[in-house]
Chain A
């Protein structure tokens, strides 16, 4: 008889590093592995049409994000690609994922971003300074406004960086190739030591509208 449901989803950092300790919160810069939060990629020429049909808020431009209520952050990566990040823990993501079959719907196709990409969240006033040691894009608050999206390279690794204010403080969502998640994790932990950065637990990432 088949052994049912023995497998458990694990975060990419946890999978490769073992159990993660969460020492607490930092005033200067904090790093959290939020890879277990649901997310979904949508791709194909029908992407924007599909989003509209399913009442998903569409960002006005490429490389721009928008909060879909408190439930979800929607980032538009190109005219034919979007990334939906669960920030509210609601059922919206589940419903949307179920409505996009693997073979596509009107030129929109699902992408398993839950598995292709790891997801970290960084916050704190020194987060832009930390990124300045890894990434050539200027992420200071006045230069990288709320809901900006950068598809760029950090520590020689392709990443997607999305800014979102959480409780009025700038935060950065960082998405990277899941196989390289631990590599980038180590780079960030090393780079943030200078600022007294700490690893935080995945607390509620609900962002400001």
Chain B
């Protein structure tokens, strides 16, 4: 499957925390229906980059952001409120964080906050998003139970379902499987591949093998710069930059 037009265009994006420069001006187009994986050692700016895309970085009062990001044709800083942006660009965190509510209320949290009250509609959203996150069959009989009672793997898929409940165009995954066992990881990856058909996915991962498995394109970040960007296969088999090669074969990182 080939990826389409640019979904998100990033121009000269720079982020700093006080005197520390986390991203040093990078430009990239994220294409429609692709899975862009971002690899790189810690402190390479991967997560800062991701958090710029849905303006979650605004929550960090230390962070200074420069440059422009467009979602489709809209500048995300001028044309959208952060709330509307985050409904269109969802995020999955490294650790599954169910809210201390029932499974059902977790899923409907986003839609309810956007003002959806229609019971049948919410019910449909619950089923559809849990199905899409490959967790419906396991938990459909206990939707009233606290979400915190689920296993780690189920919790992370619940979190994916919760994000899907808002029907986002783009989903940002921030090391979503770092705390999961291999089987749960496989299920999350399967969900990502399926979601890609209708959405755009950006995946930050510390696990280079995961990037090789699911990425359509892969970007290698190092110390706030994008060293290399290309089709995933090329990055892993024929990297152009020596630093990329050193990282993917495991010489550092």
Physical interaction between A and B = no
